[in-house]
Amino acid sequence: MKSFLMTLGQFIFSLSMYIMGTIFFGLALIPSVALVSKAWQLGINLIPIMRYTLLGFSIAAGYFLFGFTLILLTGGIRTILRLRLKEGVYPIFSLGGLKWAFASCLYLLINFTFIDFILLTPFANLLQRLLGAKLGKNVQINSKFVFDATLLEIGDNTVVGGGAIVIGHVVERGRLKLSKVKIGKNVTLGSHCTIMPGCEIGDNAIIGAGAVLLKNTKVDPRSVYYGVPAQPLKPHRNKEDSANAQG
């Protein structure tokens, strides 16, 4: 019986997310549909090739209009609802779990449809700020896998490399665990590295490409971490230094 109720709950939740997606996509498409419709009407007296060309350009422009409208819409809804995640441990089927799921769905709406076109642009930072992240100046985000924005802090001049995963949640033994991720100034997150919940990275640190920073890891300023799991890179000593140390 318990298994049946869990399956039913998952089905209802999934259905509600599909309905939410339909509503958000529908609202975001309104300006694009209006643009395409207007272009088709304007081309009514043109020869077919010219009319189809006008229609094609209007559809392409409509896609970008849809994307930016969706960003503003999801960010606006999050702000209006004051949807902020709090650190803690929650049952999956709880108010805290539902808030996390709803916030995640808002991001995924954009992640699956438009985000590739805004990486490494100010619009990527705008999206994260609208979703609740605290970003410093001149932050460069080149990854679509930056999740749980309300649990994220990034300092000035930090670079998030391509494919890097920054995440503020894990699900362990049927419970959702939320922890903040704090990244300092002038930090470099290498390509496809993973930053787990609860991590704190000091200023001027480097996390190497493909490294996995385990939960709650504290990275000292100016340190360099590589590997799986990520470990600090020991400073290299030349032969003269080694001889002096032995003497």
d(CA 108, CA 116): 12
pLDDT at 242: 38
Q: Give a yes or no: residue 106 inside a domain.
A: no
> Domain holding 179: CATH number?
2.160.10.10
Q: Give a yes or no: residue 173 inside a domain.
A: yes
Q: Give a yes or no: residue 213 inside a domain.
A: yes
3-state secondary structure of 172: strand
Phi and psi for 171 in degrees, rounded to 5? -115, 115
Contact between residue 166 and residue 145 where contact means Cβ atoms under 8 Å apart: yes
Domain with 151 in it = 125-233
Q: Give a yes or no: residue 66 inside a domain.
A: no
> Which are the contacts of 157, defined by CB distance < 8 A and separation ≥ 6?
136, 137, 138, 139, 185, 186
Buried residues in 183-204 as b, exposed as e (16+ CB within 10 A): bbbbbbbbebbbbbbbbbbbbb
Q: Give a yes or no: residue 97 inside a domain.
A: no
CA 170 from centre of chain: 15
Using a 10 angstrom Cβ sphere, with 0-12 exposed, 13-18 middle and 19 or more buried, the burial of residue 177 is middle
Q: Give a yes or no: residue 167 inside a domain.
A: yes
Q: Give a yes or no: residue 81 inside a domain.
A: no
pLDDT at 5: 67
- Among candidates 155, 80, 63, which has minimal Cα distance to 118? 63
pTM of the model: 0.87
Which residues of the chain register pLDDT less than 50? 238-247
**Total structural domains within the chain:** 1
For tokens 């490494």, name the residue: 120
Phi and psi for 178 in degrees, rounded to 5? -115, 130
Q: Give a yes or no: residue 244 inside a domain.
A: no
Tokens representing residue 159 in the block = 């670079």
2-39 pLDDT, tens digit per residue, is 677 667 777 887 888 899 899 999 999 999 999 999 99
DSSP string, 4-44: HHHHHHHHHHHHHHHHHHHHHHHHHHHHHHHHHHHHHHHTT
110-127 pLDDT, tens digit per residue, is 999 999 999 999 999 999
